[in-house]
Amino acid sequence: MKDTLAVARGVSWRVLHMFFTNPAFLLPSLAFPLFFFTAFVGGLSRISQVPGFDFPTGYTAFQFVFVLLQSAAFAGVFTGFGIARDFESGFMRRLMLAAPNRSGILLGYLFSALVRWLTVASVVTVVALLAQMNIGGNGVDLIGLYTLALLLNLAGALWAAGVAMRLRTQQAAPVMQMPVFLLLFFAPVYVPLGLLKGWIHGVASVNPITPLLEAGRGFISGEPELALAAFAIGFGLALGFGVWAVRGLRSAEAAG
């Protein structure tokens, strides 16, 4: 256990050091969520006047939840990019040779994904508050919201790590990114589920991200709903992709 944690500490230190000292990594991670938040809230706020759009705390809070979850998922995916880059450069081989317990490597990347997202989430939250976002939920509700985001961050990182460890090339980036992108955007991004019509309603209804999104919006408006389902899905995704990632690590070990 001590070895595993030591390896994890080393790996995460390196990734975070690169992240915080390299503007090419740090700035896009911060800029994109802020940009989406600004564009959606600024450009689409009129949507809240559509008959049937009943969200008590306003469109800013409505979109904030989506951007928070999106940033969590993509912070996880970007960690996968880093893993793929390390494979291509040969650095992963060095890590695997040095680490007494290789699970520590995966743990290290996961920890760095979490810290990356926490950084982004802090900035996005501050900006949303400055934009006078209304919060209807209490402290427990907000903990629930950020926990959901954390689960999504973990799931995203484990998914991307599993892909990166199997394919071991940066050309796998679209494979890591696209499914996450599709899952996020085939959810009720702009309006609640009840206002979607046609095929998109059908897809969003079965999309596992939808309950997380709706529950998150429930937390921020102080009217929690689907919380149990959302946490079950969140944990399920994290667990399932955890198995996926560990098996990916084993396949990378076997490949040498």
Partner 1 sequence: MNIALLQTAALGHRAVVRTARQPANVVFPLVFPMLLLAVNSGGLQSATRLPGFPTDSFLAFALAVPFVQGALLATINANVEFARDIQTGFLNRLALTPVRGIVLLLGQLGGLMTIAVIQAVFYLVVGYAFGVRLASGVGGAFMLLLLEIVIALGFAALGSWAALRTGSTEAVQGLFPVFFVFLFLSSMNMPRNLIQADWFRWVATVNPVSYLVEAVRSLVIEGWNWEALALGFAAAGALSVIGFMLSAHALYRRLERT
Interface with partner 1 (CB under 8 A): 28, 31-32, 35-36, 38-39, 41-47, 49-53, 174, 182, 185-186, 188-191, 195-201, 203
Nearer to partner 1, 182 or 255 (CB): 182
Beta-carbon contacts of 195 under 8 Å, excluding residues fewer than 6 positions away, are: 50, 52, 53, 188
- Give the per-residue SS3 of the chain: CHHHHHHHHHHHHHHHHHHHHCHHHHHHHHHHHHHHHHHHHHHHHHHHHCCCCCCCCHHHHHHHHHHHHHHHHHHHHHHHHHHHHHHHHCHHHHHHHHCCCCHHHHHHHHHHHHHHHHHHHHHHHHHHHHCCCCCCCCHHHHHHHHHHHHHHHHHHHHHHHHHHHHHCCHHHHHHHHHHHHHHHHCCCCCCCHHHCCCHHHHHHHHCCHHHHHHHHHHHHHCCCCCHHHHHHHHHHHHHHHHHHHHHHHHHHHHHC
Q: How far is the CB of 71 from partner 1 (least distance, A)?
A: 15
Judged by beta carbon, residue 2 or residue 197, the one nearer partner 1 is 197
Comparing CB distances to partner 1, the nearer of 107 and 172 is 172
CB of 175 to partner 1, least distance (A): 12
Query: Which CB, 167 or 189, lies closer to partner 1?
Result: 189
Q: Which is nearer to partner 1, 7 or 77 (CB)?
A: 77
Residue 63 Cβ vs partner 1, minimum distance, rounded to whole Å: 12
Q: Which residue, 27 or 143, is less far from partner 1 as judged by CB?
A: 27
Our CA angle for 134, 140, 143, nearest 5°, is 80
Smallest gap from Cβ 226 to partner 1, in A, equals 19
- Name the residue nearer to partner 1 (CB basis): 67 or 196: 196
Phi/psi region, residue 168 (left: phi>0; alpha: psi -120 to 50; beta: rest), is left
Minimum separation from the CB atom of position 133 to partner 1 (A): 14
Distance of closest approach, residue 103 Cβ to partner 1, in angstroms? 34
Q: In the complex, what is the shortest distance from the CB of residue 203 to partner 1, in angstroms, rounded to a whole number? A: 8
